[in-house]
Amino acid sequence: MMMHHVCIQTNCYKESLEFYTRVLGFHLVKETPEFHGRAYNAWLEMNGFYIELQTGKGEEPLAPYDKMREGIIHLCFLVEDVVWEHQRICDLGYTDFKLKNGKAIYRVENGFLFKVKAPEGTEIEFRDQEI
């Protein structure tokens, strides 16, 4: 068994699509308008891992992200250099980082990490050490 994809719903499809492709570097594989009652459904891929990005069904907006709900709280990517990755994202003009004690990059256990907030609210963690 292996992980194939995670599905992310969004009220701000265009902004989220730009974030995952331009900022995080995912490749748009397929985009389907008018997908089973949704305005859009897209498949994004990076290194064999997929994100299914979609709008909600119908006209009613989705409830905002809330880290106090059950289920997936954040996605995490392992990178070689957290400082370099953080600077790369800043250089692209993206600045919505989650701060801890006023700092974007902080130490945890045996390494460093930072978190960025996607337009739809998903927290994306980057760390430089495996568990």
pTM of the model: 0.91
DSSP string computed for the chain = ----EEEEEES-HHHHHHIIIIIT--EEEEEEEEETTEEEEEEEEETTEEEEEEEPBSSSPPPPP-TTSSS--EEEEE-S-HHHHHHHHHHTT---EEPBTTBSSEEETTEEEEEEE-TTS-EEEEESS--
Q: What is the pLDDT of residues 100-123, one digit of tens each?
A: 999 999 999 889 999 999 999 999
Q: What domains appear along the chain, each with residue ranges and CATH number?
A: 5-55 (3.10.180.10), 74-127 (3.10.180.10)
In this predicted structure, what is the pLDDT of residue 59? 83
Q: What's the pLDDT band for 34 if we cut at 50, 70, 90?
A: very high
